[in-house]
Amino acid sequence: MIKKFFCLLGMFFIFSGCATINIPHYIKEEYSYKKKFDADYEIVRKQIKNILQSLHWEIEGEVEPSVFETVKDIVHPENQQTLIFSKVRQSGFFVGSQYARVNVFLRGYKKEWTEIEIRYVSIFSIVFQRFTKYRQDRLVQKVFTQMQKNLMALPDTDGHLSP
């Protein structure tokens, strides 16, 4: 009798774990990380894509951020901006699965500096619960540190490496 109970209970957990998790493309600004870099927008844009790919985040696409939110500070014709979406990353665990996505906003201001804004969301799903997390300090620190290193290694306009 007890064997049947545990067998049925085990079957219940096995079959009830199948669920669809929807991770939005756009992540709200509530928990964003921002940092400004003294570099041209196009250079930062290329570098951020390389950094994300080196950290095993696949790029799903790029869009104009005004599609998702009101843009208040990009009015000068030389200013540029884009929103980069990563693909959803899935990690399986014994008791559940984790799904994560990254949004990267780039805002270039008059070819003087570029702001990087990173937004992160992950959902950890177990049988009847979901836990949402919007912070990932380690990932963001890695991205910002690698960006700083990459920009320092680029030659300046005279062809010399930056100090």
Side-chain-facing half-sphere of 108: CA atoms under 13 Å: 19
Say if 2 falls within a structural domain. Answer: no
Say if 7 falls within a structural domain. Answer: no
Q: What is the pLDDT along the chain (163 residues), one digit of tens a residue?
A: 777 766 665 655 555 554 566 788 889 888 899 999 999 999 999 999 999 999 999 999 999 887 887 766 666 777 899 999 999 999 887 778 899 999 999 999 988 899 999 999 999 988 778 899 999 999 999 999 999 999 998 876 544 344 4
Say if 114 falls within a structural domain. Answer: yes
Say if 73 falls within a structural domain. Answer: yes
Integer Cα distance of 133 and 91 in angstroms:
15
For residue 121, the SS3 value is strand
Q: Is the pTM of this model over 0.95?
A: no
Domain that holds residue 120: 23-153
